[in-house]
Amino acid sequence: MSPDQLTALLNTALSEHLAGKIPGKELMQLERLSGGANNETWRLTWGGTPMILRRRPFSADSVDQLEGNILGLSLVDEAAVIQLATSTSVPVPDIHAVFDASHPIGEAFLMGFIPGESIPQKWLVDDTYEVARSRLAFQCGEALGRIHSIDCSLLPANIGPTTLDKRFAAAQKRLHAFGDISPVMQFGLNWLIDHAPTEAPCVLLHGDFRTGNLLVDEQGLAGVLDWELTHQGPAEEDLGYLCANVWRFGHLQNPVGGFGGYDDLIAGYASTAGWTPELSTIRYWEIFAALSWGLVCQTMGALWHSGHGDVERAAVARRRSEAELDILLLIEEWGNA
Amino acid sequence: MSQANEQTTASDVTISELLGAVKGFLMDSASPALSGRDQFNARVAANVLGIIDREQQVGPELAALDAAAAQQWLPGDSGSGTALQQLSRALAAREIDADTDFFEYLRQRQLLVATINNPRYASRKVAEERWRSES
């Protein structure tokens, strides 16, 4: 859809949805932000109020055949979870309008714009964010503790509890469906199955809580974005995911997202969750996160083959090698620990 | 008449040089002339040419490694598919004893794959230091 078409559709829809809530007559400054291989992200202003539109450029039906739908929730469900999170003190944007797949705009939602820096390559290194970085691991722990306390009975029906065995089976099914092309991915899954931790109660997980999805200002955590992979699972999964090598942006010496240490993350988590996670279990989930990233890359390759996506998506398929490398490194470290 | 003494100018262009020329066009001409998503994709496309270049250089070594692994760890009639598929399926069926030797094969193949796809990935440096020295 061209920016002009989208502008026209949004003008009609927003006049209706935002009437009496946010003053404005006409959409201004619509701009596609780069990044985001699944969903489009657009910035716009309405009567001087900056907003963000998230839109899925293809119908959800077209990816139904991909087992486990690693592309995540519908944007409608994602918006519902963000709205639930606003009941905690986790910083999330306000949801202004939600459009389902039958709307001419397509599946999309409109949310508030939170000021802050979203580009990790900036906030991970700029002096401006030095204080923020020193606080961030603790703050991320706090935020995750709060997210995990959200009452799962309030979730959309699509976000149900699961078990490790079901997760393993879904991963195995995807490896087969994607052609069994990687002995390293299979080796990693076998290892995860053989070293599974004791089954723990399910909590609501953000599911994609990583450096690239955080908004940071000079005080630290300003926003938690991109809830499309939210699901239920054991709490340590979110903690391990944040520590995965692939999301450290090259700062391997700082295991928490490239900016912090395990101790601060665990202490922050304990302060809001009321219990202290084990480091070894967090590290198990780092390996799981590596496998998941590899599966995301394979999904991107499969989607590209089915005609969805541009050269970026084709290129992301090759980033599976990052996941494979980390799987081997981490399993080796586990054995030597 | 000694041709060797005459000054010559290279007239052939290798695959690597062709890829370099296209990469130069994408980065120096196309990218500045584009904006937004297209500009972003022009840079992605330039990076993809690097993958192609490295794969055509390293690919044969990788294929040889995989073929040797298939010979070592697969029984005679392992069904259809590439060496990688057969190895993956045998692992899934728990038919391969993933011992030290097998792990070493995976490490060496992954060093090559990482070289092709993302030589700047931070973990690669760790892996190179740890695994090259051992082999």
Q: What is the pLDDT of residue A309?
A: 84
| Mean local confidence (pLDDT), B113-134 | 91
A320: nearest CA partner in chain B = B117
- Domains of chain A, CATH where assigned: 3-112 (3.30.200.20), 120-336 (3.90.1200.10)
Q: N- to C-terminal Cα distance for chain A? A: 52
Q: Which residues of A touch B (CB under 8 A)?
A: 31-32, 34-35, 172, 175-176, 179-187, 189-190, 245, 248, 250-252, 310-312, 314-315, 318-322, 324-326, 328-329, 332
Q: What is the rounded distance in angstroms from the CA atom of residue A77 to the CA atom of residue A25?
A: 28
| Mean local confidence (pLDDT), A167-177 | 96
A204 near A147, Cβ under 8 Å?
Answer: yes
Q: What is the pLDDT of residue A28?
A: 85
Give Cβ neighbours of residue B86 (< 8 Å, ≥ 6 apart): B70, B74, B78, B79
Q: What is the pLDDT of residue A163?
A: 93
| Average pLDDT for chain A | 91
Mutate to test the interface with B, among A33, A211, A321, A334 (most CBs of B within 10 A): A321
Helices (H), A196-319: 235-242, 262-273, 279-305, 311-317
Give me the DSSP letters along A18-78: STTTS--SSEEEEEEES--SSSEEEEEEETTEEEEEEE-SS-GGGGTTSTT-TT-S-HHHH
Lowest mean pLDDT of A56-65, A70-79, A311-320, name the range: A56-65
**pTM for this one?**
0.89
Q: What is the pLDDT of residue A68?
A: 46
A-chain CB neighbours of B84 within 8 Å are 180-183
Q: What is the pLDDT of residue A61?
A: 45
| ipTM of predicted assembly, 2 dp | 0.91
Q: What is the rounded distance in angstroms from the CA atom of residue B122 to the CA atom of residue A226?
A: 25
Q: How confident is the model at residue A60 (pLDDT cuts 50, 70, 90)?
A: very low
* A328–chain B nearest CA distance, Å: 7
Q: What is the pLDDT of residue B78?
A: 64
Q: What is the pLDDT of residue B132?
A: 87
| Mean local confidence (pLDDT), A75-90 | 93
B-chain CB neighbours of A319 within 8 Å are 117-118
Q: What is the rounded distance in angstroms from the CA atom of residue A158 to the CA atom of residue A155?
A: 8
Burial class (CB in 10 A: 0-12, 13-18, 19+), A229: buried
| Mean local confidence (pLDDT), B73-100 | 88
pLDDT digits (tens, 9 = 90+) for A234-282: 999 999 999 999 999 999 999 999 999 999 999 999 999 999 999 999 9
Q: What is the rounded distance in angstroms from the CA atom of residue A107 to the CA atom of residue A101?
A: 4
Q: What is the pLDDT of residue A335?
A: 74
SS3 A318: coil
